[in-house]
């Protein structure tokens, strides 16, 4: 197991290094001059040159890469040209909001997709299965922006069940004292249940927008992975020996399907973290996706690079966690190869 | 009294294709009865039907199944209550890859004998010893992928014993194993059958296995029982054309094997 863990860690480290290199290069080969973009069309060539020198854009690429990676090791992602603040401040300030939203989306996706997928696999072709497949087609083909608008229209404008898309809390409400940066959790830590409830209400619609789409993916994966095990020899054995159906489903089928399901959950969470730019924009959610959206508008490539790097790193870490959980679940991974 | 009586068994697919037609045979306590035939003759389906685990889309159309004189045609009344056990062609695939083998045997002990988990674990190790696994306590902690095919089949047999079986169905139990391991497993089956007086239905295409282990044989051809009788009589003096054909094929293989 130790060898497996070390191997996974090494692979993740190499992947992060690759990610740093790729984001660095992509930003450098894009057309456009960051200095010129910041100073605007009226700027003189002398001003632009001065800013280029200040931002060290005239150094050779290897020198720039070296400076950049040295900075990274110290937690310095460089300056955000459009705002003048460090990129790391811009993004890490917003990270908790993004994580809170993505996590809420994942919880919704799992609450809907997981039991439904299991039910569908237990009785394929029956009502639970057919309705689930219909739901999955709808869920995965509906654009988040459209679904979000529908939810706002229904639950806010028409029925007034949830607050409108104005961010994480009602305008004028003070956030809870910061511990983790996630409002629901911090409110609970501060013992302010009213504030926690308000945070949940504001979180509900954007999380539902993200979660409904993702639950379709979770449903499909759970269903197919569990169904796939139905034909395997050990399930036949368990059935033949009279093991009760529910126990076969949970202890034999689901456990063996969990490897695939976990992979899917890791991917879905990564997607929810990085793919919610539009949802954050729609609900005025002050997360990292909003920063990236604004950075696109102001041509702030350094900020975009930082965004890609952070999201990419989180993705790699998620995969690492999934790989390590594999080792816990599957003795074949933990104890090394098959001897067949 | 016969341990198992199968009367006029018929099986068909949902589409209406008849897989098995009017098949009848019986097995006495302590007797090993062979069911031979080529691929697709319906021999595995016969064992699945008796066990009550026909695959999706296949169902029983006619016939009765009796165990010790009791009618258990209704699937609900089989398996646990009847103490049926079954072993399969690919022993490793038949075991849950994520569960320790001792745990898998113990699970069947607990299920079929209603004892506590701790007692079941102790009994599981005893069963592993009974199927001649050296260092049974250590083997019980292994996962299927850490054991050889022959060992996995012994684990399957231990699981079968955990059910205190009145009837053991063996579907090509040695086909996937090395020749040397094959005879060890067959010897073990013969010995245990004698010891616990269960009936055994041995499904195989291998007439060598039949000669070595079976008391009587049924020959299945395209879903019909074409010949049955004591193993030695049938192998030395086959009556039906198809049986002779099977025997000739086997002999040819044997000659090829030696050449």
pLDDT category at B257 given cuts 50, 70, 90 is: low
On whether the CB atoms of residues B3 and B166 are closer than 8 A, the answer is yes
Beta bridge partners of B219: B36, B227
Which alpha helices (DSSP H) does chain B contain, by range? 43-51, 101-113, 117-130, 136-140, 149-162, 179-196, 207-213, 231-236, 241-258
Whole-number pLDDT of residue B161: 93
pLDDT in tens, A219-265: 999 999 999 999 899 999 998 888 888 999 999 999 999 989 999 99
pLDDT in tens, A96-114: 999 999 999 999 999 999 9
**Cα(B136)–Cα(A311) distance, integer angstroms:** 51
- Above pLDDT 90, what percent of chain B? 66
Chain B CB contacts of A239 under 8 Å are: 53
CA distance to A28, A64, A307, A308, B50, per residue, from A37 (Å): 14, 20, 19, 20, 79
**Least-confidence region, from A73-82, A315-324, B18-27, B113-122:** A73-82
Q: ipTM exceeding 0.90?
A: no
- Chain A, residues 46-75, CB within 8 A of chain B, namely none
Chain B CB contacts of A338 under 8 Å are: 145
CA distance to A109, A134, A145, A216, B227, per residue, from A141 (Å): 15, 11, 12, 9, 60
A84-88, Cβ contacts within 8 angstroms, sequence gap of 24 or more: A87/A302, A87/A303, A87/A305, A87/A306, A88/A306
Answer whether residue B256 shows pLDDT above 70: no
Whose CA is closest to A330, among B122, B47, B5, B97? B97
The minimum CA-CA distance between B220 and chain A, rounded to whole Å, is: 23
pLDDT category at B132 given cuts 50, 70, 90 is: very high
Whole-number pLDDT of residue B80: 57
- Is B97 close to A329, i.e. CB distance below 8 A? no
Whole-number pLDDT of residue A26: 87
On whether the CB atoms of residues A303 and A128 are closer than 8 A, the answer is no
pLDDT in tens, A149-198: 999 999 999 999 999 999 999 988 999 999 999 999 999 999 999 999 99
Strands B199-204 and B167-171: parallel
The minimum CA-CA distance between A216 and chain B, rounded to whole Å, is: 27
Answer whether residue B254 shows pLDDT above 80: no
**Cα(B106)–Cα(B165) distance, integer angstroms:** 15
Whole-number pLDDT of residue A339: 41
Which alpha helices (DSSP H) does A40-126 contain, by range? 45-54, 61-73, 87-122
Whole-number pLDDT of residue A54: 79
Which of A235, A242, A253 is the best substitution to test chain B (most B C-beta atoms within 10 A)? A242
Answer whether residue A126 shows pLDDT above 80: yes
DSSP run (H or E) holding A20: helix A2-29
Whole-number pLDDT of residue B259: 45
pLDDT category at A47 given cuts 50, 70, 90 is: confident
Chain B CB contacts of A242 under 8 Å are: 79-80, 111-112
Edge-first strand order for the sheet with B224-230 is B84-87, B167-171, B199-204, B32-36, B216-221, B224-230
Whole-number pLDDT of residue A310: 93
Sign, CA torsion A292/A294/A300/A301: positive
Instruction: Please name the member of A241, A332, A339 whose beta carbon is closest to the beta carbon of B97.
Output: A332
Whole-number pLDDT of residue A37: 72
pTM for this model (two decimals): 0.86
- In terms of Cβ atoms closer than 10 Å to its own Cβ (0-12, 13-18, 19+), residue A70 is exposed
Whole-number pLDDT of residue B68: 87
pLDDT category at A340 given cuts 50, 70, 90 is: very low
Average pLDDT over residues A259-277: 89
- Is B97 close to A331, i.e. CB distance below 8 A? yes
Whose CA is closest to A123, among A245, A304, A4? A245
**Least-confidence region, from A15-29, A50-64, A167-181, B114-128:** A50-64
pLDDT in tens, B170-197: 999 998 898 889 999 999 999 999 999 9
With an 8 Å Cβ cutoff, is B108 touching chain A?
A: yes
- Chain A, residues 244-303, CB within 8 A of chain B, namely 251-252, 255-256
Answer whether residue A55 shows pLDDT above 80: no
Average pLDDT, chain A: 90
Answer whether residue B253 shows pLDDT above 80: no
- Above pLDDT 70, what percent of chain B? 95
């Amino acid at each position: 197991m130790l060898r497996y863990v070390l191997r996974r860690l090494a692979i993740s480290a190499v992947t992060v290094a690759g990610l740093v290199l790729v984001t660095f290069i992509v930003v450098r080969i894009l057309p456009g001059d960051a200095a010129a973009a910041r100073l605007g069309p009226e700027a003189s060539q002398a001003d632009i040159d001065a800013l280029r020198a200040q931002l060290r854009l005239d150094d050779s690429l290897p020198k720039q890469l070296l400076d950049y990676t040295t900075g990274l090791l110290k937690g310095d992602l460089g300056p955000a040209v459009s705002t003048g603040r460090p990129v790391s401040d811009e993004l890490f300030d917003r990270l908790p909001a993004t994580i809170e939203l993505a996590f809420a989306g994942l919880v919704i996706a799992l609450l809907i997709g997981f039991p439904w997928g299991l039910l569908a696999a237990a009785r394929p072709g029956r009502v639970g299965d057919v309705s689930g497949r219909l739901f999955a087609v709808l869920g995965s083909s509906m654009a988040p922006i459209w679904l979000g608008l529908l939810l706002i229209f229904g639950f806010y404008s028409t029925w007034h069940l949830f607050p409108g898309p104005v961010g994480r809390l009602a305008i004028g409400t003070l956030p809870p004292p910061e511990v983790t940066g996630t409002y629901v959790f911090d409110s609970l830590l501060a013992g302010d249940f009213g504030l926690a409830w308000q945070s949940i209400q504001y979180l509900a619609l954007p999380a539902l927008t993200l979660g409904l789409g993702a639950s379709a993916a979770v449903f499909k994966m759970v269903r197919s992975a569990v169904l796939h095990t139905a034909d395997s020899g050990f399930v036949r054995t368990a059935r033949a020996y009279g093991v009760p159906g529910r126990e076969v489903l949970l202890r034999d089928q689901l456990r063996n399907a969990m490897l695939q399901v976990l992979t899917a959950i890791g991917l879905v969470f990564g997607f929810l973290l990085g793919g919610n730019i539009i949802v954050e924009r729609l609900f005025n959610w002050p997360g990292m996706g909003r920063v990236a959206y604004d950075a696109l508008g102001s041509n702030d490539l350094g900020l975009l690079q930082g965004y890609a790097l952070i999201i990419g790193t989180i993705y790699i870490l998620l995969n690492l966690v999934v790989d390590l959980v594999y080792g816990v679940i599957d003795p074949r991974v933990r104890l090394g190869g098959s001897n067949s | 009294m016969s341990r198992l009586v199968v009367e006029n068994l018929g099986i068909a697919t949902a589409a209406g294709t008849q897989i098995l037609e009017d098949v009848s045979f019986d097995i006495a306590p302590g007797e090993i009865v062979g069911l031979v035939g080529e691929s697709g003759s319906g021999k595995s389906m016969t064992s699945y039907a008796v066990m009550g685990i026909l695959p999706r889309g296949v169902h029983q159309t006619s016939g009765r199944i009796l165990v010790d004189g009791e009618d258990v045609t209704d699937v609900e009344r089989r398996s646990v209550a009847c103490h049926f056990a079954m072993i399969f062609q690919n022993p490793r695939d038949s075991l849950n890859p994520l569960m320790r083998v001792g745990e898998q045997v113990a699970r069947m002990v607990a299920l079929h004998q209603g004892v506590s988990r701790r007692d079941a674990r102790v009994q599981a190790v005893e069963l592993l010893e009974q199927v001649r696994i050296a260092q049974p306590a250590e083997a019980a902690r292994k996962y299927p992928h850490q054991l050889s095919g022959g060992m996995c089949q012994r684990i399957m047999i231990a699981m079968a014993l955990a059910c205190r079986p009145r009837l053991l169905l063996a579907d090509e139990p040695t086909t996937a194993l090395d020749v040397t391991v094959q005879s060890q497993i067959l010897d073990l089956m013969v010995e245990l059958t004698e010891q616990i007086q269960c009936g055994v239905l041995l499904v195989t295409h291998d007439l060598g296995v039949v000669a070595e282990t079976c008391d009587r044989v049924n020959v299945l051809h395209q879903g019909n029982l074409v010949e049955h009788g004591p193993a030695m009589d049938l192998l030395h003096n086959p009556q039906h054309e198809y049986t002779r054909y099977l025997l000739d094929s086997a002999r040819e293989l044997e000659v090829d094997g030696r050449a």
